[in-house]
Chain A
Amino acid sequence: MNEQHWLVRPGTVRILWIVFAVVLILTVIPDFFIEKHASFPIENIFGFYAWFGFLTCVGMVLFAKGMSLLVKRKDTYYDD
């Protein structure tokens, strides 16, 4: 097992990031021409789902991190 698996080689990881970035861009492009049946005005803002998904997730991670300062304990906390 000295040889690294091809999936975890730095070169592959870089290619995966590039592919991921391209896919992300591709998901936003349809916003230019797709006909939206928006239920709420906010949906009509460009790339709404993209930035909304990203920002809320960052928010949730930060919130969890902040909460962990208060309620995080060693995993042996309840052991006798």
Chain B
Amino acid sequence: MINFPPGLILLFGAFLLPFIRGRGRDALVLILPLLTLAAIWMVPDGASVSAQFLDYTLTPVRATPVGRLFATVFAIMAFAGGLYALRQARVMEMVAAFAYAGSAIGVTFAGDLITLFVFWELMSVGSTVVLWSAGTRGAYRASMRYLMVHLMGGVLLMFGIIGHIGATGSVAFEPMQADSLANWLILIGFLINAGAPPLSAWVADAYPEASPSGAVFLSAFTTKTAVFALLVAFPGTWVLIPVGLYMAFYGIIYALLENDMRRVLAYSIVNQVGFMVIGIGIGTELALNGAAAHAFAHIIYKGLLLMSAGSVLYQTGERRLSHLGGLFRTMPVTAFLGIIGALAISAFPFTSGFVSKSMVTSSAAEQHMTLVWLLMQAAAAGVFLHAGIKFPWFVFFQKDSGLRPAEPPANMRIAMWVFAFFCIALGVYPAPLYNLLPFPVDYAPYTAGHLVASFQLLLFAGLAFFVMLPLMKRTLTITLDFDWFYRHFGALVGSEMMVRASQARRRSAVAAQLSAQRFFVGLDRYHGPTSKFASTWPTGSMVLWVAILLGAYLVFGFL
């Protein structure tokens, strides 16, 4: 019987890693996630642990079907990520990544808002250290911007939680309505971590700066924990539908313009999370099942895509699409596995994305939301455009860049094979995934109509890609985003402030100097060597005054 949060195995186990070397550490890296996975399934259903904190009863361990689904895929991710990073990542990165994964699993078992908040903040710290571990100046600066956004999100979430507890007296983490300021703040705190507008830019700003393995870890936990939190707390909140649609298209448009291969994939995280957020906003059983299933499938194929991109980066040191191309010659395995990930994210039939995303789309059709459904179909075609073809085409085909890198080391290849296997297996045989979903599944993805529709939509999107190829030519550019406000505009405001502040400082320094000067001149006048007070008195005047005093004595003596 497990009577502690299962995430703690990873969270505390991570700190053992620096003390063990060689094969022992390798073994521990692979065993910790598996132990955690076992623990996740040994926790009894429902709330099983309670603790007193201040006047509140906390529920640090509460097993729910949806929480267990997220915890399971998080543990699988930690395992494959650990395998991928086994020999290449620095120990600090590994420790941070496992503590980060453990905290994410902690959130999925949180039965109250305080426990949730504690693990939520631990995730921010862990993920920042993962970014740091890349060891470059760019990564350090990106990690500071990343931390800033997440600490702000954390503060909003904390205010929301305090307000919620104050208003309702309940710390329970359960469905709520966005009907009060406090609940809105909680919703906004969750959405910031999901990569929602206007702060979506943090995803593509931070993740591509991480190490090859760091980006794999980062892609999985923060945004999907936010999806989990939204799924539990705000199902059926209509505002999530427009927010999710915005995210889906934002990811596509920015990814189309992007030249950094891992930033393309980071934008497509926002795009995919957009589909999940739409599902949560629709809020029917089919939609929520779809959002949960899509999160599960997404973590695996996105991990695979970033592993493939990370392998290219690790072997070539190059991340710009304009400088890559033609790598299929010497990296056929990486290319093949990357393409499987690309097909899965595009929801190609017989891949995991096909059986999960279509549940969300169908739920919109079921609710007769014509516009939402049409936009989701367009976005689904756009996924193939910006991630499904763009990523493999520009990295592995396109032109011959002259690069002839070898395949990555064995542990990285095996990790990719494992995830590629999951991508296909879940697509061909979705029953195990459907059994994990929070509501009973009455959904058949493989109908003739659905297959034909998917093939038409995706292949004609592919045609559009190659027809428009001249317009997609890569240039050495970035695309401005909301982060401009805190990276450039903020710096402008800051330097303006500095100019003004230094002028003000100079003025006040001059004024202070003047008044000090005046003070010393006065001091000199009255107390200086030539002043009245400082001058020596002649002995004669002293004798005179003594004579006067004695004379006065004499006079008074006779009276």
B122 CB-CB contact with A under 8 Å = no
Q: Considering the complex, give the chain A residue whose CB is closest to the CB of B322.
A: A75
Beta-carbon contact of B463 and A71 below 8 Å: no
Q: List 30 A-B contacts (CB under 8 A).
A: A1-B404, A24-B463, A27-B452, A27-B455, A27-B456, A35-B449, A37-B449, A39-B366, A43-B453, A49-B454, A49-B460, A50-B459, A52-B377, A52-B381, A53-B460, A53-B461, A53-B464, A54-B460, A54-B463, A54-B464, A56-B381, A57-B385, A57-B460, A57-B468, A58-B464, A61-B471, A61-B472, A65-B471, A68-B257, A73-B479
**Chain A stretch 41-80: residues in CB contact (< 8 A) with chain B:** 42-43, 47-54, 56-65, 67-68, 71-75, 77-78
How many of A's residues come within 8 Å of B, CB to CB?
A: 46
Q: Inside 8 A of B476's CB, which chain A residues have their CB?
A: 74-75
**Chain B stretch 257-301: residues in CB contact (< 8 A) with chain A:** 257, 259
**Chain B stretch 492-522: residues in CB contact (< 8 A) with chain A:** none
Q: A56-B378, A61-B472 are in contact. Are A75 and B460 (CB under 8 A)?
A: no
Whole-angstrom distance between the alpha carbons of A42 and B448 in the complex?
Answer: 18
A/B pair count, beta carbons within 8 Å:
140
Whole-angstrom distance between the alpha carbons of A78 and B249 in the complex?
Answer: 25
Residues of B within 8 A of A (CB): 249, 252-253, 256-257, 259, 320, 326, 328-329, 365-366, 368, 370, 373-374, 377-378, 381-382, 385, 397, 400, 404, 447-449, 452-465, 467-468, 471-472, 475-481, 487-488
Choose one: A8, A50, A61, A72; the contact of B456 (CB below 8 Å). A50
Beta-carbon contact of A27 and B378 below 8 Å: no
Choose one: B259, B373, B467; the contact of A40 (CB below 8 Å). B373
Residue of A37, A47, A59, A75 with most partner-chain B CB within 10 A? A75
Q: A23-B459, A51-B460, A52-B457 are in contact. Are A75 and B478 (CB under 8 A)?
A: yes
A9 CB-CB contact with B under 8 Å = no
Choose one: B257, B456, B465; the contact of A49 (CB below 8 Å). B456
Choose one: A23, A34, A47, A54; the contact of B448 (CB below 8 Å). A34
Q: Considering the complex, give the chain A residue whose CB is closest to the CB of B402.
A: A1
Beta-carbon contact of B488 and A78 below 8 Å: yes
Q: A40-B370, A57-B381, A75-B478 are in contact. Are A49 and B457 (CB under 8 A)?
A: yes
Whole-angstrom distance between the alpha carbons of A23 and B397 in the complex?
Answer: 21
Whole-angstrom distance between the alpha carbons of A23 and B463 in the complex?
Answer: 11
Whole-angstrom distance between the alpha carbons of A47 and B471 in the complex?
Answer: 26
Whole-angstrom distance between the alpha carbons of A68 and B40 in the complex?
Answer: 47
Whole-angstrom distance between the alpha carbons of A7 and B335 in the complex?
Answer: 14
Q: Give A80 Cβ to nearest chain B Cβ, in Å.
A: 9
Q: Inside 8 A of B320's CB, which chain A residues have their CB?
A: 75
Interface string of A18-36 (1 = CB under 8 A from B): 0010011001101100111
Choose one: B253, B328, B458, B477; the contact of A64 (CB below 8 Å). B253
Beta-carbon contact of A63 and B465 below 8 Å: no
Whole-angstrom distance between the alpha carbons of A43 and B377 in the complex?
Answer: 11
Q: Considering the complex, give the chain A residue whose CB is closest to the CB of B450.
A: A37
Beta-carbon contact of A57 and B452 below 8 Å: no
- Which 8 A-B pairs rank lowest in CB-CB distance, beginning with the nearest? A57-B464, A39-B365, A49-B456, A56-B378, A53-B457, A71-B480, A53-B381, A54-B460
Whole-angstrom distance between the alpha carbons of A40 and B462 in the complex?
Answer: 25
Q: A31-B452, A53-B381 are in contact. Are A75 and B459 (CB under 8 A)?
A: no
Choose one: B329, B368, B460; the contact of A5 (CB below 8 Å). B329
Q: Give B547 Cβ to nearest chain A Cβ, in Å.
A: 84
Beta-carbon contact of A75 and B385 below 8 Å: no
Whole-angstrom distance between the alpha carbons of A78 and B455 in the complex?
Answer: 41
Q: Inside 8 A of A30's CB, which chain B residues have their CB?
A: 448, 452
Residue of A36, A54, A62, A73 with most partner-chain B CB within 10 A? A54
Whole-angstrom distance between the alpha carbons of A79 and B385 in the complex?
Answer: 30
Q: Give B327 Cβ to nearest chain A Cβ, in Å.
A: 11
Q: Inside 8 A of B461's CB, which chain A residues have their CB?
A: 53-54, 57
Beta-carbon contact of A73 and B478 below 8 Å: yes
Q: Inside 8 A of B382's CB, which chain A residues have their CB?
A: 56-57, 60
